[in-house]
Amino acid sequence: MKLLFLKRSLAATAVLVAGGAAAVAAETTAEAVPGAVQHASVAGIDYVSTLFVFMLATFVGLDVIRRVSRLLHTPLMSLTNAISAIAVVGSILIAGQQHSDYRFNLLGLVAIVASVINIVSGFLITDRMLKMFKRREVAKA
Amino acid sequence: MNTWIQIAYLVATALFILALKWMNSPETARRGVIAGVAAMLVAVAGTLINPAIAVSNYKWIALAIVIGSVIGVPLSWVPLTAVPQRTALSHAFGGLAAGLVGVSEFYISFSGSGMELSSFRAGALCMEVLLGFLTFTGSLMAAGKLQEILPTRPITFRGQNIVNIGILAAAVIGCVALTVNPSYAILFPLIIVLALAFGVMLIMPIGGADMPTVISILNSYAGLSAVAMGFVMDNKLLITAGALDGSSGLILSIIMCKAMNRSFANVLFGAFGQVQASATKAAQKTVKSATAEDAAQIMEQAGSVVIVPGYGMAVAQAQHRVRELYDHLTKRGINVKFAIHPVAGRMPGHMNVLLAEADIPYTDLVEMDDINPEMPQVDVALVVGANDVVNPAARTNKSSPIYGMPIIDVDKAKTVLAIKRSMNPGFAGIDNELHYADKTLMVFGDAKAVVGDLAKHLSGENGH
């Protein structure tokens, strides 16, 4: 049963990484396509190393999450909710930079609001739930 | 400055991993939250010192953070029975944030400023808005169903799967085309519309019993959209934190699927929970019923009691009465355990949180796999608002829609007490053979009222 689980997780990771690799492949072939947008800053992003980071983070994530107590799956979900609101980083960068059109900043600001809602409510409710989990000794006292 | 930003992101990543690692036990879990908060503060601080941010924009960012906090704080006060809705709603916010950032990034690339739109970035952008916007509408639908603003039963029509797969295929083809040639900008709004539509269509045919799986899948998508954002913006913190969230959702959905013996595809396209037209058979079978007083007497004689809670307990808000019953039984020296099925309730771990809220020590909450071997020695199994997860048809009846699903073997206990409002079949519309078994006594009534009566009888007859 554990083996099956590992196999599925591996397969899922493989699919994701393969997807990324395909995008890199498309990247290299696209350069040959006439009419494609000229990309001056290809050298700016090290695609392969970002994929590396993604792959390793996924493996760490699968391994760490697998050990989470089943008792705590609801708080886990609200905690990861707050963590995935890391999108706030991207939102701040979009909202903060000067753009040719202020509407880009506006979209960024709305994204900040949405992310901060998740950060604040996610962490607070996780803590509220975790406070309720007590051992028997504590419950009696 | 750039080095400091990267160091901040590195520290934040480590803290996020520790936060999740500490969730492995209730003892250390609260430390995990502190680590998570610290990680987020470091990440936000590291972003705010970025020299690319114009000084005049800080006040707007501050305003947005204040607005988000003002909305976020009350959202954390919801009653615990509403946690599934809140979770679905915050998946929607997460998806929206990713989608909006994706839209800005795409058009900024065409406005001259910002990074050039290479194929890699175009592909990642497509994934970001596709996952972001489908999570947005899908999670709103899920939240609506959980809050019962929308009908909770699956809404189906002929050719639904073909329509859904068609929408998804069109969106994916659009993404591929845009990746191959990022100058086809006209495709971008089309992908957004298709993603929004697909989110709605995907959740429409899903019933309440499948919500634990669906919420987990949406959790995963919200994380993956953050990963895609990381690829677009070349930001490793977004990639790592998103990947942690994505893998969490993935693992939870695998656990949920296994607990129902179903595949992802079956959950998403199977429209489980439609009413079965087999109610006629039930009429001929007889049911033994008991009053709360009879049931209390039976429990009094027992040496061990296992309580199996289900969504019905959450609906009736009966968890505090269950706690009273637990207190009276343990006071009499009766061994009480709670058997928790992985998919009981509307999200992973839902029952554990409700029982913890009622101050029941988590050491008495036992997982299905650990309680089942003990079941034949149990004197009384008390089923409170659970139905499909205790239906022996899952083991015996090959034609049953839930055949093969692992269940809590309450039918092996010496006596079964089942609290139920009426003989109407449960959510999945499947008749439960357990209710007709010789050893089963039905106690009819609202879960909260019946458990309250049980507790009263058990305390009153004590005599002092």
Q: Are residues B247 and B136 in the same domain?
A: yes
- Same domain, residue pair A40 and A82: no
Q: Averaged over A2-16, what is the pLDDT?
A: 56
In terms of domains, do B42 and B139 share one? Answer: no
Domain final position from A67, A95, A123: A67
Distance CA B42, CA B115 (A): 25
Residue range(s) defining the domain that contains residue A82: 69-141
> Least CA distance to A49: which residue of chain B?
B236
Q: Which residues of B touch A48 (CB under 8 A)?
A: none
Select from B24, B54, B77 the last residue of a domain.
Answer: B77
pLDDT, residue B268, reads 73
The reply to whether A60 and A75 lie within a common domain is: no
Closest CA to B231 of B122, B136, B116: B122
One domain for residues B295 and B353: yes
> What residues have CB less than 8 Å from B45, skipping those under 6 apart?
B8
- Give the model's pLDDT for residue A28: 52
Are residue B393 and residue B323 in the same domain, yes or no?
yes
pLDDT at residue A26, as a whole number: 53
Distance CA B218, CA B142 (A): 9
Smallest Cβ–Cβ distance between B60 and the set A89, A95, A118 belongs to A95
Residues 6 or more apart from A118 whose CB is under 8 A from it?
A81, A82, A84, A85, B72, B90, B93, B94, B97
As for how many domains chain B has, the answer is 3
Under an 8 A CB cutoff, do A73 and B252 touch? Answer: yes
Q: Check residue A11 and give its pLDDT.
A: 62
Residues A31 and A89 in one domain: no
Q: How many domains does chain A have?
A: 2
Question: Locate tokens 């930079």: which residue?
Answer: A97
Query: Given pLDDT bands bounded at 50, 70 and 90, which one contains residue A40?
Result: very low
Residue of A nearest to B50 (CA): A93
Q: How far apart, in whole angstroms, are the C-alpha atoms of residue B298 and residue B279?
A: 30
Closest C-alpha among A39, A81, A74 to residue B349: A74
Q: Would the CB atoms of A35 and B116 count as touching at under 8 Å? A: no
Q: In this predicted model, what pLDDT tens digit does every residue of B336-373 receive, in sequence order? A: 999 999 999 889 999 999 999 999 999 999 999 999 99
Question: Which residues of B are tagged catalytic?
Answer: 388
Binned average pLDDT, 10 residues per bin, chain B of 464 residues: 93 97 94 97 96 94 97 94 94 97 92 78 95 96 93 84 92 94 91 96 87 92 95 94 95 92 78 46 70 91 94 91 94 94 91 94 94 95 91 87 90 93 65 87 92 89 48
pLDDT, tens digit, for every residue of B159-207?
Answer: 888 899 999 999 999 999 999 998 888 999 999 999 999 999 999 888 8
Does residue B158 form part of some domain?
yes
Among A18, A50, A67, identify where a domain stops: A67
Give the nearest chain A residue to B104 (CA atoms): A104
My answer on whether B171 and B130 are in the same domain is yes
Identify which has the larger pLDDT, B195 or A15.
B195
Split at pLDDT 50, 70, 90, the class of A113 is very high
Cα separation, B72 vs B86, in Å, equals 11
ipTM value > 0.95? no
Residue B397 lies in a domain: yes
Chain B environment of A130 (Cβ under 8 Å): 26, 29-30, 33
Residues B304, B330 share a domain: yes
Which residue range is the domain that position B105 belongs to? 81-269
CB contact under 8 A, B244 and A45: no
Residues B61 and B126 in one domain: no
Q: Given A70, A90, A119, which is nearest B229 (Cβ)? A: A90
Distance CA B308, CA B337 (A): 9
User: How much is the pLDDT for A67?
Assistant: 93
Q: Please name which of B250, B188, B224, B244 lies closest in space to residue B95, comparing C-alpha atoms.
A: B224
Q: What is the mean pLDDT of chain A?
A: 79
The last residue of one of the domains, among B249, B269, B289, is B269
Could you tell me the pTM of the whole model?
0.88
Q: Is residue B274 part of a domain?
A: no
Residue B339 confidence (pLDDT): 96
Q: Mark whether A53 and A117 lie in a shared domain.
A: no
In this prediction, residue A17 carries a pLDDT of 63
pLDDT at B263 (0 to 100): 84
Interface test with A, best of B76, B107, B133, B324 (most A CBs within 10 A): B76
Of B20, B50, B118, the CB nearest to A64: B20
Chain A residues in contact with B17 by the CB 8 A cut-off are 60, 64
A25 and A84 together in one domain: no
**Strand runs (DSSP E) across B379-432, as ranges?**
380-384, 415-420
- Clarify whether residues B185 and B293 are in a common domain: no
Q: Are residues A26 and A86 in the same domain?
A: no
Could you tell me if B258 and B287 lie in one domain?
no
Shared domain check, B455 and B324: yes
- Based on the fold, state whether residues B46 and B131 are members of the same structural domain: no
Side-by-side strand order, sheet with B440-444: B365-367, B335-340, B304-309, B380-384, B415-420, B440-444
Is A1's pLDDT higher than 50? no
- Which residue on chain B is closest to A33 by alpha carbon? B181
Same domain? For A61 and A88 the reply is no
CA distance A106 to chain B (A): 9
B47: amino acid identity, one letter: T
pLDDT at A13: 59
Claim to verify: residue B342 and residue B313 sit in the same structural domain: yes
Quote the Cα angle for B219-B221-B223, to 5°.
75
Whichever domain contains B449, its CATH number is 3.40.50.1220
Gap between the Cα atoms of B14 and B262, Å rounded: 35
| Confidence bin at A31 (pLDDT 50/70/90) | very low
My answer on whether A74 and A140 are in the same domain is: yes
Check whether residue A85 and residue A42 sit in a common domain: no
